[in-house]
Structure formats: structure tokens, C-alpha cells
Structure 1
């Protein structure tokens, strides 16, 4: 029987992966999500990876067009002084890698692995995805260098905020793409190996995790409203996506499941934040949920 920890980890990862700007409804991603967790056949796993990639990248084109529209003005601003030459170069690198990523993504999409019984197509997609992930690493590094450099130039922050915002939105998509490269970021693989050995347990894990996700999605508006009463200048997109998923899950349980001890829910949320979030996630999640439990 799957543990409550396993169920909550799976639910948080689903909420994180499926909560996309401009993306399809979360429910559309559900089958693909579980295939990524449980599939062992090489070809079917690659097929699931591509379906997940296509889901995650919905909305990316709009963000990319937004960046393209905003970049000329930003480049003109950076060209005004030689002091900003490095920043200008970093932004140009970002734009170049964005273009390379898009071209490589389209190459991946054209490989018909779902129709192929031949080893050739499977190998081609593995190689193409490996190249896509390599570009992704370079792209993310260039984005981070640009954003960090802007933080060191307060006189540029306001004028470059539009292009910086577009880059941050694209990076949020990239963070999810990198989960496809690093499946260990999904719930613990040891747990899944054990669960795969018992078909009943795996069915129960999906049933219970899906039920928990459905509860969160059903009360999402109500949960966000309650969080907004606690978090100053609350806007979901301003909160780290992992923290957001954990907060929504745990806040929903605090608000809709009175049979659960608030202390247990909060402690479990802290554990999730420590495993999946940043160094500050545990304290942040603890503070918000503690206030919510007392309200």
C-alpha cells in the first residue's frame, strides 16, 4: 500500500509540472505524467517524454514572441554605453540559444518514434533529446547570467524589466523541461521500483494521488484567495512554482480536511519543501501555513 508521503510527493510533482502559463488544462497531462513515472519500455518512455515535452512547451511560443518583441528596445538601451557591453552580449546569447532550442525541439517532434518499431528512430530521438537538453543547459545559464547582471545594475532594472520578465517566464518552462532529463526529481525512484512490483499498489498510488490533485484543483480559487490574505502582494506567478504547488496542496488540506491535524499537514509540507524546493522553501512554507492554520 502506498504511503501518504508517496501520495503527496506524486501530487506535488503533478501540480508543479502541470501548472503552466498558457498551457493546457492540468487534466490533459495526467496520463503522460503517470507514464513517465512508471513506464520501463524504452520506446514507450520516449513517446511519453515527447508528449510531456509538448504539454510543457504549450505557451512557450507566446512567451518567445513576447521576448522577441521586447528585445530590440532592450538591446538599444544596452547599446547606449560601452559599460553595458557584457549585458548586451548576454542578451544576444539568450536570443541565440532560444532560437537554437526551438529548432532542436522541432527536430525532436519530427522523429516518429510513436510509429517506429525500428531501433533507428528510437536512437535518433535519444540523440536529439540529448542535444536539446545540452542547449537547455546553455540557455538556462545565459538567462541566469543576464538576470543576475541586471540585479547588479539598478539603473537598468526599470527599463529592462519587460525583457527580464519574459526571460523569467521562459525559464519557468525550462525548469519543467529539465525534470524530463532528470527523472530523479520525480517521486523517489526506489519507491516506484517497489510499487511497480505490485500492480495493486501502483493503481492505488495513482488513484489516491489523482484524488488529492482533484481536490486541490477543485478548490484552487478558494485556496489562492486564502493565501492572498496572508501573502503580501500575492500573485501565484510571483511564487516559486515548487513552493506554490506545496502551498496549494497543504492549504487545501488545512481548509477542506478537518480530520487531519494541522501540525501534521504543516510538517509534511516542510518535508516536501526540503526535498523539492530551495534552501528557503521550508521556512517560507512553514510561515504561510502556520498563519493559515491559525486564521
Structure 2
């Protein structure tokens, strides 16, 4: 027999022998795939989440929770049946159809990527990205984690391809805007007028800002101090660029609210000038200091209502920044 042909027969025989040893049930592992339970199944297995599960199905959101790919791991903050019942009763809803934007409300409870309960305890963990195109603001008060400044208790957590947190509240996307709040408050009308005059409305819709709004009396005091008889005269005296800097000095980057302020805390406004405003606390009183050597101060009326993009507090003076030499 030809030696070359004999070698081929030996190779064929060896291959056949190896084929008989292959496990017919063997499946090649797929990169990024896990054997964890689908989150949809985790939710369905919890009897106290039956209403939430039905709503997810009716609004077509279960497909978000049926992947075993690790890159699709999510966290679901699932309100219990009791939480949904309390929410419906408190708002006078007879059925889920009465909830405006129900699909978005439900999507607001689905976070991407996965978040474990231990993540929430970290002080630098401040935002939860949701499938409703709006983050949940995470803050802390008295050692307790709060969502959108609302107390929410995590009753327990179940794991699958992600995490399901059973919670005792229904979460709602923030719908109230800074601009609407200002327009509805007659004591803040001059600030609203100045913002419109200078075309600074977009500054109020940027995410995660804190606004310190001088009330009308604060502006009247400034007009009197400057010898201006009207807002128009003030604009003529200062010029629009300088007035724009003054307004932007009252718009601070980041979220400032009662639970996270500390004495002598420096703020970072949109226009910083030479001197950054600082928080000064004395018991329950909160003030901002500003001007040369932070010698001037204004009292802050703290408002812990969170708006779509941050917080709004009222102050009793217009803070004029130190502009420095041009």
C-alpha cells in the first residue's frame, strides 16, 4: 500500500475515534453570556410584584429584561403591590390607565447598567441612569439613601442577570422645571425678567444645577443702591455683559441642598469672578458669603424640592461678584 495513502487512512481512523468521544450535549460557550436567571423570571417569581409584572407586560417593557448577555445586565427598582396600591389611592387613580405616561413611569424603574445595593451606599454614587431618559438623583440624609430626595426603602434584593430591588414607593420622573417655578412665584418675577432679557433660559435647563434666586426686594435694593430707577436703567448703567455675569454668579454647578451643605463650603458658579461664594451655616440658618474677602452675606431660604435639573433656593440680596481687573 502506498505509504502516503496509508497515512491518510490512519488520520481518518483517528478522527472517527475522536468523534465518538465528543459529548453530544456540549455547547460552545458564547462570550458575554451567563446562566443567570432572566430578570423577567425573577420578577414573575415574586408574588408581591405581580401588579408591577402585569404592568411591564401590558406596556411592552418585558423585552428589556429577557437577555442573558452580561452587557445587558440591569437593575430594576420594583414597587411592591402595596406600594402601587398606596400610590393609586393617594392620587385618586382607579386604574393604571389613569397614570399619565405609564410606560415612561415604568421605564423610570429600570436602570442601566446593573446597580447593587452596596453601590448605593457609596457616597460618590449620586445618579442612576434609567430607561426613561432621566436620571434618578441619589442623595443621603441621616445615613439613609434617598431617591430624588424621597425616602425609599429597599425591602430586599433578588439577583439574576442583574438585580431586582423590591421598594416601598413608586418612583416618578421629575416633571417640575425651574423656569415654571420662577414664573409661578410672583416674588421672583424680576429675576425671571432679567433671565429672559439676557437670553439665559438655557442655563436653567442644564442638568444638575443649583439656583440661588434673589427675590424682588433684593433687586429693588440693588436698583436703589445703584441709583437706577428701573431695570432698563440698571442695564444701561452696568451693560448686558456685566449683568449676565451677575446672573450666572447665582447659578451653581452641582446640587446643593440642606443635607449636603457644610460650613465654609465653596461653590462653583457659572461665572466665578475673583471670589467664589461660600456657604456659611449657623444652626438652622444658612447664608452665602461673597465679595472681597467674602465680607458680604445673604440669607438663604432653603427649598429642598428637587426640580428636573436641580434645586432652587431664594436669597435676600443680589450677589455682585468681584470682577477683577479687565
TM value normalised by structure 1: 0.28
Name the one with the larger strand percent: 2
RCO comparison, higher one (Cα < 8 Å, 6+): 1
Q: Rg: which structure is higher?
A: 2
| Structure with the higher fraction of residues in helix conformation | 1
TM-score (norm 2): 0.26
